[in-house]
Amino acid sequence: MDTGCILTADDEVKSGFASGSTTRTSSEHSSHEPILADQLDHQHDQESAAPHAPPPKVATVLVIDDHPLFREGVKARLAREQTLVCCGEADSLETGRPLIKAQRPNVVILGFSLGGQSAPSQIKSLRKEFPGLRVLVLVLKEDLVVGETALKAGAHGLITKAQSGDDLVTALETVLRGEIYLNPELTAVMLKKAYFGERDDEVTGKLSSRELQVFGLLGLGLGTREIAAKLNLSRRTVNVHRENIKHKLGLKAAHSLVYSAITWMQARQKTAGQDAPRQNPLVNA
């Protein structure tokens, strides 16, 4: 007789399966009464005694942005996650760098521009000083040049202030896996450029990050004095950048430089589906 996983009392006695245990008589159990409940109780005791699975690994996140309300929102959202925790916050890279050294976070959420500092240089300096650090860049809106500039500087992803808390969690999980995070809108813009080409190629391919900032501000109608104040540079340095830009783009006169910058900015804003706001995302994001 094949008893399978269920044994009757008679089978238990005959096979000696329950050796050392109290023998049940026929008066106590019917010859066909299963003893499965005893086996399940024993299995339950064994499972209860087994060690619990280790808790999930927690990744630490440090937020560097000059908007206190945004930092508070990030901390509140991460407090709902079991595998992500905010280990600190700062309003500038200067105050944030000591926290990075002390806390050694897995990821830094970095505002693209803080106090007029060059965002690409910030990203590069962080990646050089902390090679294993993941950098998720916070930008104001989807922008082709911002995306290219940040990724070229070493960022692992970009997220906009218009995205949701769930998007933030997804972005953090993505960069922690060693992947690049871009939202669908920015991905579409970058793919469009990759497959169909853009007039921006000549400019972005030839100019440095700082020169792109100066060129973009020229395209918004700012003069040398205004650009110098915006970027915390001297007017002499801005004029040097202007000359370098003219040389790299093959422009002869100052008015040709300004016209080219305006045309470039208008084309870029049109590509990104914007309404030409009076700001340069390279500086104010």
Tell me the pLDDT band of 274, cut-offs 50, 70 and 90: very low
Location of structure tokens 């914007």: 274
Same domain, 84 and 128: yes
Integer CA distances (angstroms), 168 to 197, 209, 260, in order: 30, 26, 37
Residue 130 or 202, more confident? 130
In a domain, 2, yes or no: no
In a domain, 4, yes or no: no
Residue 56 or 16, more confident? 56
Same domain, 78 and 139: yes
Same domain, 174 and 232: no
- Alpha-carbon span 197 to 185, nearest angstrom: 17
Are the beta carbons of 182 and 190 closer than 8 angstroms?
yes
Length of the chain: 285
Same domain, 45 and 97: no
> How much is the pLDDT for 136?
94
On the question of pLDDT at 41 being above 60, the answer is no
Same domain, 242 and 126: no
Q: Which two tokens stand for residue 36?
A: 């499965």
Are the beta carbons of 71 and 89 closer than 8 angstroms?
yes
- Alpha-carbon span 109 to 135, nearest angstrom: 6
Same domain, 150 and 249: no
pLDDT digits (tens, 9 = 90+) for 49-108: 445 545 558 999 999 998 899 899 999 999 999 999 999 999 988 899 999 999 999 999
- What percent of the chain shows pLDDT beyond 90? 31
> How much is the pLDDT for 244?
93
Domain termination residue (choose one: 157, 173, 191): 191
- What percent of the chain shows pLDDT beyond 70? 66
> How much is the pLDDT for 275?
42
Same domain, 103 and 165: yes
Integer CA distances (angstroms), 252 to 243, 244, 246, 255, in order: 9, 11, 7, 9
Residue 195 or 168, more confident? 168
> How much is the pLDDT for 40?
43
- The average confidence (pLDDT) of the chain is 75
pLDDT digits (tens, 9 = 90+) for 105-136: 999 999 876 655 567 888 888 999 999 999 99
On the question of pLDDT at 48 being above 50, the answer is no
On the question of pLDDT at 212 being above 60, the answer is yes
pTM: 0.54
In order, the DSSP letters of 118-169 are -HHHHHHHHHHH-TT-EEEEEESS--HHHHHHHHHHT-SEEEETTS-HHHHH
In a domain, 3, yes or no: no
> How much is the pLDDT for 64?
93
Lowest pLDDT segment from 148-162, 164-178, 189-203: 189-203
Are the beta carbons of 57 and 83 closer than 8 angstroms?
yes
Range(s) of the domain holding residue 43: 9-49
> How much is the pLDDT for 86?
94
> How much is the pLDDT for 175?
93
